[in-house]
């Protein structure tokens, strides 16, 4: 299908990477990259990190503007796909325009989850997913004294650290009994909780937000423990939900994301799904997962580009992730789902350590705090299935880099 038409819906990390990867793989047909956002495709992680700290300006682009024209990629910005017509093999945009495809790739990403809490539509409530959100936060930050962050996941905590560095009073409210509970081991949760407390953030664990009430220029945030917080703004960071609506409406199977097989194909051989919106069989857990990471978006895009240019292979890339919170860098290699043993390499008290996580004796994930060398080695070790018994992992004289190479 080297000279057919590929339409990509969503120009985030996955969509933009796919468009360019198709050209690199020799695809000569038409490539249309359509996105509802009006901005040139930009990088999202800096929105809670360097872009925010730098005070805004132009975002870091995913690819230089000139490359789209040079690579013959038709970019349709501010163009929301409202419907897929699978019989006709076309998509219909919100403005009524239709566009035919030979292959359609859904790279629609995710949006912030809005828990069923009264008052979340109050103007004091902010969120962070895209550039416009980030610009709103930046424009409001100077006037704020106190911010309540709902959710102690990666983004909630990155934002809490940023706001503390700006001298704001910060309360983080989290339903779970520890921070980043869905994603990291207890040791890493505990270390980051201590870090945020040291930075002066108040963290309310085992606590839900039951309502937001407008008050003056800000809001009163009601908590499940009966208390309430008076804040100039509320930052909603309670996780995301995948953008699956157009897939569902087209009759494609949807679970925690658009269901695809190990080739990242839906049940319709003319439609693939990649990135934050895709629910795919993981080579590392034995079940299907949906991941929210730049690595996943990029690697799935490249896998689909190879398939569409005649080199199909099951998607098996090792997941990895990072998060910067204040002075700390967390890096995760692998997926810890169902781990039954955790051992430490280095000491949390030294602010530099890794947690090696095993499932039935097999190393499945490594979480590294301020230990980039461990992380890089762990990625190769897990990918290659190099055996590293727990005793060897904890022994600092074990040369992980050498093991990774071997």
Ligand X SMILES: Cc1cc2nc3c(=O)[nH]c(=O)nc-3n(C[C@H](O)[C@H](O)[C@H](O)COP(=O)(O)OP(=O)(O)OC[C@H]3O[C@@H](n4cnc5c(N)ncnc54)[C@H](O)[C@@H]3O)c2cc1C
Where does this chain bind ligand X (CB under 6 A)? 9-10, 12-15, 34-37, 44-45, 47-48, 80-81, 107-110, 128-129, 155, 243, 246, 275-276, 292-295, 297, 321-323
Residue 182 or 385 having the CB closest to ligand X: 182
Residue 288 or 295 having the CB closest to ligand X: 295
**Among 185, 138, 183, 181, which residue's Cα sits nearest to residue 163?**
138
The distance of closest approach from Cβ of residue 388 to ligand X in the complex, given in angstroms and rounded to an integer, is 24
CA–CA distance, 230 with 124 (Å, rounded to integer): 11
**Among 295, 330, 324, which residue's Cα sits nearest to residue 50?**
324
Residue 15 or 334 having the CB closest to ligand X: 15
Structure tokens at 401: 């880099």
H or E element at residue 247:
helix 245-249
Cα-based angle 387, 393, 398 (whole degrees, multiple of 5): 95
The distance of closest approach from Cβ of residue 315 to ligand X in the complex, given in angstroms and rounded to an integer, is 14
Residue 9 or 144 having the CB closest to ligand X: 9
- Cβ atoms of 302 and 19 closer than 8 Å: no
In the DSSP assignment, the letter for residue 352 is E
The distance of closest approach from Cβ of residue 220 to ligand X in the complex, given in angstroms and rounded to an integer, is 26
**Among 140, 160, 139, which residue's Cα sits nearest to residue 150?**
160
Residue 108 or 189 having the CB closest to ligand X: 108
The distance of closest approach from Cβ of residue 145 to ligand X in the complex, given in angstroms and rounded to an integer, is 23
Residue 44 or 359 having the CB closest to ligand X: 44
CA–CA distance, 232 with 32 (Å, rounded to integer): 43
Look at strands 218-223 and 228-231 and give their pairing. Answer: antiparallel
The distance of closest approach from Cβ of residue 49 to ligand X in the complex, given in angstroms and rounded to an integer, is 7
Residue 49 or 204 having the CB closest to ligand X: 49
**Residue showing tokens 């060398």:** 373
Tell me the residue number closest to ligand X, measured at CB: 12
CA–CA distance, 284 with 308 (Å, rounded to integer): 24
Count Cβ atoms within 10 A of the Cβ of residue 340 and give its class: 0-12 exposed, 13-18 middle, 19 or more buried.
exposed
The distance of closest approach from Cβ of residue 354 to ligand X in the complex, given in angstroms and rounded to an integer, is 18
The distance of closest approach from Cβ of residue 402 to ligand X in the complex, given in angstroms and rounded to an integer, is 27
The distance of closest approach from Cβ of residue 305 to ligand X in the complex, given in angstroms and rounded to an integer, is 14
Residue 321 or 353 having the CB closest to ligand X: 321
> What does each C-alpha distance from 97 to 76, 87, 91, 116, 284 come to in angstroms?
12, 17, 8, 35, 41
């Amino acid at each position: 299908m080297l000279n057919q038409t590929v339409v990509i819906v969503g120009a985030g990390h996955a969509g933009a990477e796919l468009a360019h990867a198709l050209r690199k793989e020799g695809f000569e047909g038409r490539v249309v990259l359509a996105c509802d956002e009006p901005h040139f495709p930009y990088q999202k992680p800096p929105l809670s990190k360097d872009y925010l700290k730098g005070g805004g300006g132009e975002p870091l682009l995913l690819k230089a503007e000139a490359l789209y024209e040079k690579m013959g990629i038709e970019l349709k910005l501010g163009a929301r796909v409202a419907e897929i017509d699978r019989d006709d093999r076309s998509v219909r945009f919100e403005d009524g325009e239709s566009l035919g495809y030979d292959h359609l790739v859904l790279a629609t990403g995710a949006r912030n989850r809005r828990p069923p809490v009264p008052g979340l539509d109050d103007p004091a409530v902010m969120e962070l997913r895209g550039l416009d959100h980030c610009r709103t936060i930046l424009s409001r930050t100077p006037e704020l004294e106190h911010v309540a962050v709902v959710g102690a996941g990666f983004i909630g905590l990155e934002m809490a650290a940023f706001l503390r560095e700006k001298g704001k009073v910060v309360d983080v409210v989290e339903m779970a009994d520890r921070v980043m509970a869905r994603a990291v081991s207890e040791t890493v949760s505990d270390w980051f909780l201590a870090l945020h407390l040291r930075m002066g953030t108040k963290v309310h664990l085992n606590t839900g937000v039951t309502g937001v009430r407008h008050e003056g220029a800000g809001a009163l945030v009601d908590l499940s423990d009966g208390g309430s917080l008076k804040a100039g703004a509320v930052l909603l960071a309670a996780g995301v939900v995948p953008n699956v609506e157009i897939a569902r409406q087209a009759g494609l199977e949807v679970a925690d994301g658009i269901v695809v097989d190990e080739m990242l194909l839906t049940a319709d051989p003319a439609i693939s799904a990649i990135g934050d919106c895709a629910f795919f069989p993981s080579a590392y857990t034995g079940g299907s997962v949906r991941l929210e990471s730049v690595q996943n978006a990029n690697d799935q895009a490249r896998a689909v580009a190879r398939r569409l240019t005649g080199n199909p292979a099951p998607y098996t890339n090792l997941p990895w992730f990072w998060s910067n919170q204040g002075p700390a860098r967390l890096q995760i290699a692998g997926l810890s789902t169902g781990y039954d043993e955790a051992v430490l390499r280095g000491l949390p008290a030294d602010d530099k350590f890794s947690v090696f996580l095993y499932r039935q004796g097999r190393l499945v994930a490594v979480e590294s705090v301020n230990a980039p060398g461990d992380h890089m080695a762990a990625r190769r070790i897990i990918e290659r299935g190099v055996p590293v018994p727990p005793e060897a992992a904890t022994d600092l004289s074990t040369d992980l880099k050498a093991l990774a190479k071997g």
